[in-house]
Structure 1
Amino acid sequence: MKKIVSLLSLLLFFTVALKAQTTISIPDTNVTANTVVLLPVNSGSLEVYSLTMHISYDTSVLQYQAIQNNPFESVGVYTANIDSTNGVIAIAWFSTTKVTITDKLFDLQFLYKGGTSTVGFTGTNELTDINSTPFNITFVDGSVSIVTDVEDIGSKIPDSYELNQNYPNPFNPSTTINFALKVSSQVSINIYNSLGQRVTNLVNGSFSAGFKSVQFNASNLASGLYFYRIIATGVDGSKFIQAKKMILMK
C-alpha cells in the first residue's frame, strides 16, 4: 500500500512539474521607422496568481506608450512603473483570483524611432500558481529593428538554396548580400560580431522562391570581423543554414 501511495505521489509531482514549465518570449520584429509597434509577451497556457516582471529597452530606439490587452490590471492589486529615462518597465501583480493565460501575457506598445533595440527580461521575473509556487520559466529576449527591403533578382527559380559572399567585401558602410530560395521559405538572416553576439536581425519573413538581394548598412557598427547567417525553412519541409564572414573597414 505504501508503495502505491509513493508511486501516486511521485506521479502527481511530475505531473505538476510538467504543467509548471513554460517559455515566455518576446519575438524579433521588423518595422518601419516612426510607426507604432505592438510587441506580444508570449507564453504558454497558465493559471497565474501573481506576477513580477522587469522588461528593458533602448530609449533611443523605442518610446514607451502603453501596455495593451492586459488581463492583470482589472483583477487584484496591479502596479506598473515606467522608467522612460533608463528604459525599464516594472510590473507587479497579485490576486486571490486566478488569471488564465492562453497564449500571451500582454502587448507592449512602443513608438519605433529607428535603429535596433533588444527588448528583454532583466532583474526579477516570476509568475506563481495558486500555491505561491513559481513556475519553471525560460525567458527569451527579442529585438526590434527596421524593415529591410528584400529585392527579387530576375524571374528564374534556383535548383538549390544558396548564400553568396557579400559584396563589396571589405565594405564601408553598406554591402549587398544575395541568397537563393528553391521553394517559398521562412527566412531569417542575422548579423553577429566576432564574439558571436547578434548585433541585428537583417531579414525575418516569408519569401517566394527565387534569387534575392538585401542591403546591410553597418554605419552604427565599429570596424571589424562580422558574420551573417541564414536560416531558411521551406514550405516542403526543407531547411538551409549557412554562415559567411565579412569585414567592415571604416
Structure 2
Amino acid sequence: ANAFPEADELKIYISADSKIYPSEVLLRSMAKTISLTPIRDYLQNYNGSVYSITINVKDSSFSNGSFFQILSTFKNDAEENSTLKFYGIYKKNGKPVGYLTNPNPGTELEEKFIKVNLKFYKPQKNAGRAIQFEKNSSFSFLLNKFPDENLLAEFWLRTSDSGQDILSVKNIETDQREFLLTLNDFQMLYTRIENASLLFSAPYFLGRKTWSHISILFSAEKNSVSLFCSGNLFAKIKLTSLLSVGKYEFAFSSEYGNKNYSIDLLRFINLKNTIDVSFSNKNFNNFNSDSSTVIAAFKFDDQLPQTIEKENYSVKVENLQYIKSNAPIFARAPELNIDILTNAYELIWSGGDYKQADSYTLEKSMNNSGFQSLYKVHADNSTPADYSFIDAKELEAEIVYYRVKQINLDGSVVFSAQLKVGQGESEPLVLAQNFPNPFNPKTNIELELLEDSEVDITIYNLEGQEIVKLFKGQLAKGVHKFTFDGSGLPSGIYLYKVSTPSFNTTRKMVLTK
C-alpha cells in the first residue's frame, strides 16, 4: 500500500548480478494489471548496476489504503546462488518524501536495500514425472484411520496461474470440509475455513511456474493443523471435529479450463518426529527417519490405476496429465563415516540413492586446501552396498577433511557431508544446543556419538536437584534425538547433562511459560 499519501510516484531500483536481469514487470492492483518496462539506471552513492521502474501512485487504482503488487520475472544465466536487492524512493514533484527499505537499515545505502537470496538448481532425471491438474482432473486420497499422534501430508506444488483451489480436506464422517488450500488472484497461498477457527494466518506468495514445498501437520493431541510453505508457517487452524475420530479425504482437483497446477512427490507420514524431518527430506524420494513411518507415497513416475484399495487408505484418480517433472528432487548424497585405526583411517560410505549413482570418488583435503581424488569405484545399482578405503594418517597435517563425490547416471553430482579429522584427542560425543530454546513445554536434545557407548542423560534445576533421568543405557554410534517435556515444571533455567564412562558435558536450556 502507499505509505506516503502525499507522494505522486514510487521509483523502485533493482540490483542483481550481471547474469540476472528483469525481463518483465507487472503492476497489479484490485482494479487492473499493467506492464512496466525496467530500464538501466544510476543510483547515487551506489556502486552496483541497477534497473528501475517508476509507478504513478496517484493513479486512481492506488487510492489510499488499497494494496498493489509488483511482479518481476527475471532471466537467469547464473548457476551459482545469488542475491536480488530492492530499494524504493517515494517522491513528490521529483523530491523524496519517503523510502522503501530494509526494516532495519544501516547508515550506508547498500545496507538499506531489501535483499532476497536466490538458490538455483539443475533438474535431475531423479525427479521423473509429476501430475498436472487441468479441467475435470482429480486425485482423492481417503485415510481410513488417523494416526494416534501426528499426520504429515507433504508435496511439491507448481502453479501456472493465480486464482485456483488446490486441496480440500474433508471429514467424511461429519461430511464437513475442514479447510481449502487456495491460491488467490495475487498468487498468495492461504486457507479458507468453514467451521474451524483460524489461529494464525500469513498468506505466502508463490511465484508462477516455480516449485514450492507444502507441509501440512495434523496434531491429534491439539486437534489443530499447521501449514508450511518452503519451511515457513503460513496458517494454523483449530478444528471443531476430533481428528482422532473419522475418515479424512484429501482431494486435489481443478475446475478451470484455462488454468492448471502440478504436484510431485506426495506423501502421508505417521509423524513421530518434529516438523523439521519434513524439511530435511523434501528433496529426496526416500523418507529417512528414525521413528516416523510412511503411510503412502506417490512419485507419479508410473501411471496410477483409477482406484487403489489398501488396508488404511484408498485412492481415486480421474483425467490426470503426466508430465516431465523439473521439481528439486535429487539423488540423496552418500553417508560417509570413519573408523580411526592406530596408523590409518578407514573411510566407509553407503551409496545414497544407489540406483541413480554411476560412481563414487573419495576425496581428501589437508588443512582445508583443495580436495584431491583419493579413490574411485563404480556403483553397484542392483542392491545397497557399503564401500571402504583405508588411508594412512597424515602426521604433518593438523586437520584432514574427507568427502565422497557421487556422480549420477544423468551426469549430476552430489557430495556427502565433509568429515573433519583432527590430530589431537577427540571427545566421544557432540552435544547440540536443545531446540527450540526457549521452549514451552517440549524441546529436543540431540547428540552424536562417535563410538558405541553407555550414555546417561539427566535434567537438573539450577540448585543441582535432579528433575528427571531422560535416558540411561547403551547407544550405537551416530545421531540420537530425545524429547524433554517440561509441562509440570515452572518457568526457569534448567541444565541437561550427558555422560559416558569417559566424558560428560552440560548445557543450559530455558523453559518459558
TM-score by length of 1: 0.34
TM-score by length of 2: 0.17
RCO higher in structure (CA 8 A, sep ≥6): 1
Query: Which one has the largest radius of gyration?
Result: 2
